[in-house]
Structure 1
Amino acid sequence: MPTPISDDEDTLKHLPNYNLEILKTIRYFVVENTRTARRFISKCHLGMVIDDLEFVELNEHTESKDVEDMLKPILAGENCVIMSEAGVPAIADPGAELVAVAHRKNVRVIPLVGPSSIIMSLMASGMNGQSFAFNGYLPIKSGDRAKRLRELTKIATSYNQSQIFIEAPYRNEQLVATILETLPANMRLTIAINISAHSEQIKTLKIEEWRKTDMSSYSLRKNTAIFVIGL
């Protein structure tokens, strides 16, 4: 089940009512972070008693051997919701491993509609939506990062394939600096900040245009951003 990707007070407007109808029937949750999940459920005002619900965490600290155990309540007849901290689970977030086990055990898996910053950034980019790739985080070291950007540029230009990637907020400015130093002038770059929030900023320009742009008007340092490059 997708969860909101912004902290705005009216953020629930981005979730279909159908999701909330499903949510209030669930008692077993596999979540990336229990505190975040409990807060989200409380914010939905569905009359659910939070302390009556069962939460199991699935995140980067979870060992593979423990994932199959998470399926036991489901095999016993309990419905389950998988939730990440924000956005769509199992895509650039935990969940895929449990879904894979569910398929092996012949458990029905139902994806629900909701906000995905990856897809929404591509939608708003004006770049190729027929062929694209999500590349996660780029290398931290500047030399390795520049090398990876050159590789992605080659793929983007050779196959007209949009390349999507993300970075931790505190490294956004370094990433943008490397992009502007590394990519050819005619390559396009989309910067999508705080998607779905009131403070949302989304802009696509050629690299040569970005180099002339006052970046101080883009709140990169403390906010979540998605980057898309392409022709």
Structure 2
Amino acid sequence: MSTNTSGTLFLIPSALASGSEQAVTTPQVVEVLRRVRCFFVENERSARRFISALKIGVDIGALELYEWHKRSDFQSLDAPLKKLLSGTDFGIISEAGLPAVADPGAQIVAWAHRHGVAVRPLTGASSIFLTLMASGLNGQSFCFHGYLPIEKEARSRKIREIEQAARQGNAQIFMETPYRNNALLDAILKQVEENLQLCIGVNLTAADEWVFTQSVKKWKQSPPDLHKKPAIFILGKPPA
């Protein structure tokens, strides 16, 4: 339950791909962006670029943007958080896609709940669910693992864990920083049993997007170059 005096925290989806802003942003998001002036953002530059690309008449220079990333602490945001508690509405904008999903904005959302601030999620594009929708894998039972470990041994253990769950028919969704995609794909193709299905979704909502599902064995025959391309991976079996 929210307090009577605090503002509302709006979770504002941003575009997944440059050039898709107007196509994927809903009227609900546009309405909120036209009236909210204070934002917690993962990256100030990309947030300004996103709002500017919508061409909705917002004075970009008048916005108050407060960066929040995985190394931030609440002490650095003391003033804007007090402003939120005092009745000013705020938004959270991730660098791409849904805020607070595989995103440090989740910490601010948790803070808002602890302090009785109303939280309103808004509708927008999610590369995770767009890929799952298009995968042909189990949309009834799935698990999102977020970013896999960077260190090779830890990543290998995690892939084995994911493979075991995928064998049970549960879709296993995960991702990597784009410049490490090829290393992750190489590890998957070396470790995972060949008859499991692997879906890869790349550049979702962009003009050159693609989503394709086939066996690990077939991916081995012609692995794609995913370097610096935003991608989602799903390992599993087709639904029974």
Give TM-score scaled by structure 1 length: 0.91
Which blocks of at least 5 consecutive residues in structure 2 are unaligned? 1-11
Aligned-residue offset at 1:67:
5.1
| Alpha-carbon separation, structure 2, partners of 1:101 and 1:60 | 14
Match 2:58 to one of 48, 58, 66: 48
Q: Quote the Cα distance in structure 1 between the aligned partners of 2:64 and 2:149.
A: 37
Q: How many angstroms apart in 2 are the aligned matches of 1:53 and 1:86?
A: 19
User: Structure 1, residues 33-87: CA drift from partner, whole Å, max 9, x if none?
Assistant: 1111111111121222222211111112311444565421122211111101110
Aligned to 1:162: 171
Q: Residues of 2 paired with 1:132 and 1:31: CA distance? A: 29
* 1:225 alignment counterpart: 231
Structure 1 CA distance for aligned equivalents of residues 80 and 171 of structure 2: 36
Task: Give yes or no for the alignment of 1:37 onto 2:43.
Answer: no
User: Superposition RMSD on alpha carbons, in Å?
Assistant: 1.6
Q: How many equivalent pairs are there?
A: 226
Show structure 1 runs of 5+ residues with no match. Answer: none
Runs of 4+ in structure 1 off by over 3 angstroms are: 64-70, 141-144
2:87 maps to 77
Amino acid at match of 2:200: I
Q: Which amino acid aligns with 1:79?
A: D
Aligned counterpart in structure 2 of residue 3 of structure 1, from 5, 14, 31: 14
1:67/1:97 contact within 8 Å kept: no
Over 3 Å counting, the alpha-carbon distance change for 1:142 and 1:62 in structure 2 is: closer
Local SS of the residue matching 1:190: strand
1:141 is displaced (CA, Å) by 3.6
Q: Which amino acid aligns with 1:26?
A: V
1:201 counterpart = 2:201: no
Any conservation in 2 of the 1:31–1:37 contact (CA below 8 Å)? yes
Please state whether the residue corresponding to 2:166 is helix, strand or coil: helix
Match of 2:72 in 1: 62
Q: CA–CA distance in 2 between the matches of 1:133 and 1:67?
A: 33
Using structure 2 for the length normalisation, give the TM-score: 0.88
SS in structure 2 opposite 1:133?
strand
What is the match of residue 184 of structure 2? 175
In 2, Cα distance between the equivalents of 1:105 and 1:80? 14
